[in-house]
Amino acid sequence: MLISKKRKTRDIVLQINGSRIELVNSLKYLGVIIENKNKWNLHLDMISKKSLKLYHQIMRTTGKEWGLSGEVLRTIYTVAIEPILTYACSSWHGVLDFKTKRAKLLSIQRSFAISIIKGYRTISTEAAIVLANIDPLDLKILYCTNRYHLKQGNPTNNCIDLIPFQLRAPFSNRLHPALSTNIESRNCPQHHRIDIFTDGSKIDNQTGCAFAAIENNNIIHSTKLRLADECSVFQAELLAILQAIQWCIANDLDARIHCDSQAAIKAVCSRYTSDDLALTIQRMVNSYNKHICLTWVKAHVGITGNELADTLAKEATKEQSISYDRRPISYGLRVLKLKMLKDWNDRWQTSNKGRITASFFPTIKNRKECRFLPNFVQTQFLTGHGKLGSYLFKMQIRQSDACVCGESQTVEHVLLYCPATLSSRTEAESRIGRSISMGMEKADHIHILDYMMKAFKIL
243, 223 contact by CB (below 8 A): yes
Same domain, 101 and 228: no
Same domain, 248 and 314: yes
- For residues 277 and 237, what is the distance between their CA atoms, to the nearest angstrom? 10
Same domain, 74 and 151: yes
238, 227 contact by CB (below 8 A): no
Within a 10 A sphere around the Cβ of 287, how many other Cβ atoms?
Answer: 8
Same domain, 33 and 152: yes
Same domain, 211 and 153: no
- For residues 179 and 39, what is the distance between their CA atoms, to the nearest angstrom? 48
- Give the structural domain span for 55: 25-164+327-365
Any idea what the Cα angle at residue 241 is, between residues 239 and 243, rounded to 5°?
70
pLDDT at 38 over 90: no
Q: How confident is the model at residue 158 (pLDDT cuts 50, 70, 90)?
A: confident
Same domain, 175 and 321: yes
Q: Domains in the chain: how many in total?
A: 3
DSSP 404: T
- For residues 311 and 292, what is the distance between their CA atoms, to the nearest angstrom? 24
Per-residue confidence (pLDDT) for residue 189, from 0 to 100: 78
392, 401 contact by CB (below 8 A): yes
Exposure letters 106-119 (e unless 16+ CB within 10 A, then b): bebbbbbbbbbbbb
Q: 321 — phi, psi (to 5°)?
A: -90, 145
Q: Helix 233-250 crosses helix 304-316 at what angle (to 10 degrees)?
A: 110
What's the whole-number mean pLDDT along residues 279-294?
90
DSSP labels, 193-258 = SEEEEEEEEEETTEEEEEEEEEETTEEEEEEEEEEPTT--HHHHHHHHHHHHHHHHHHTT--EEEE
Residue 376 lies in a domain: no
Residue 69 lies in a domain: yes
- For residues 439 and 359, what is the distance between their CA atoms, to the nearest angstrom? 6
DSSP 169: P
Q: Give percent of the chain with pLDDT exceeding 90.
A: 77
Per-residue confidence (pLDDT) for residue 78, from 0 to 100: 96
Q: What is the CATH number of the domain that holds 312?
A: 3.30.420.10
Residue 127 lies in a domain: yes
Alpha helices by DSSP H, 77-166: 82-86, 89-92, 99-117, 125-132, 137-152
Q: Which secondary-structure segment (H or E) carries 166? A: strand 165-166
Residue 239 lies in a domain: yes
Task: Give pLDDT tens digits for 305-322.
Answer: 999 999 999 999 999 999
- For residues 105 and 85, what is the distance between their CA atoms, to the nearest angstrom? 8
Q: Positive or negative CA dihedral for 263, 267, 272, 275?
A: positive
Task: Give pLDDT tens digits for 371-394.
Answer: 999 999 999 999 999 999 999 999
Residue 5 lies in a domain: no
Task: Give pLDDT tens digits for 192-235.
Answer: 889 999 999 999 999 999 999 999 989 999 999 999 999 999 99
Task: Give pLDDT tens digits for 257-275.
Answer: 999 999 999 999 888 889 9
Per-residue confidence (pLDDT) for residue 203, from 0 to 100: 95
Residue 351 lies in a domain: yes
Alpha helices by DSSP H, 317-375: 329-350, 355-360, 364-369
Task: Give pLDDT tens digits for 47-75.
Answer: 999 999 999 999 998 999 999 999 999 99
Max distance between CA atoms of the chain, in angstroms, equals 95
Per-residue confidence (pLDDT) for residue 181, from 0 to 100: 64
- For residues 322 and 316, what is the distance between their CA atoms, to the nearest angstrom? 10
- For residues 228 and 287, what is the distance between their CA atoms, to the nearest angstrom? 29
Same domain, 282 and 182: yes
Same domain, 406 and 304: no
Task: Give pLDDT tens digits for 90-101.
Answer: 999 999 999 999
Same domain, 176 and 67: no
Residue 108 lies in a domain: yes
Q: 116 — phi, psi (to 5°)?
A: -65, -40
Same domain, 106 and 91: yes
Q: Give percent of the chain with pLDDT exceeding 70.
A: 99
Amino acid identity of residue 40, one-letter, is: W
Q: How confident is the model at residue 421 (pLDDT cuts 50, 70, 90)?
A: very high
Domain end marker among 310, 325, 340: 325
Amino acid identity of residue 366, one-letter, is: N
- The closest of 373, 360, 381 to 441, measured between CA atoms, is 360
Same domain, 132 and 214: no
| 70 contacts: CB under 8 Å, gap ≥ 6 | 116, 117, 118, 132, 373, 374, 375
Residue 433 lies in a domain: yes
Per-residue confidence (pLDDT) for residue 120, from 0 to 100: 96
pTM of the shown model: 0.90
Exposure letters 23-37 (e unless 16+ CB within 10 A, then b): eeeeeeeeebbbbbe
Same domain, 29 and 129: yes
